[in-house]
Copies of this chain bind each other. A is one copy, B any other.
Amino acid sequence: MQPLYTQNIKDFRSRAAVMKALGHPARLMVVDVLARGERCVCELTDLLGLDISTVSKHLRVLKKAGIVSDDKRGKQVFYSLRMPCVLRFFECLESVLAQG
């Protein structure tokens, strides 16, 4: 039997890694905020209301997936959105979610 899918397994794995990274409310909030400019970890921590170590872990997940990038300047680390097309996908989501 020949494969019916158009991509190979590795492609699916790397895509799934990105999706998985976006599959948490806290990380989606981070993406939403970073869409309007870079933020340091402390700002994101205040925003999310989670322990800073927890936020740091979420950021590591996003970074590993290639969704955000970090830039250390002085004592602070600034994160910014590296994948702005994510935002367009949210519109697609909304339309489907609206249907119920």
Say yes or no: B1 contacts A46, CB within 8 Å: yes
- The tally of residues in A whose CB lies under 8 Å from a CB in B reads 45
CA distance A18 to B6 in the complex (A): 22
In A67-87, which residues have CB < 8 Å from any B CB? 67, 82-83, 85-86
List residues of chain B with CB within 8 A of the CB of A25.
9, 12-13, 15-16
- Flag A27-65 by CB within 8 Å of B: 1 or 0 each: 111001100000000010011000000000000000000
Q: Report copies per complex.
A: 2
A contacts with B: majority SS: helix
Distance between A6 CB and nearest chain B CB, rounded to angstroms: 6
CA distance A28 to B12 in the complex (A): 6
A-B contact pairs, 27 of them (CB 8 A): A5-B32, A5-B33, A7-B32, A12-B25, A12-B32, A14-B97, A15-B28, A15-B90, A15-B93, A15-B97, A17-B23, A18-B96, A19-B22, A19-B28, A20-B24, A21-B23, A22-B23, A66-B97, A66-B99, A67-B96, A83-B96, A85-B89, A86-B89, A86-B92, A88-B89, A89-B89, A89-B92
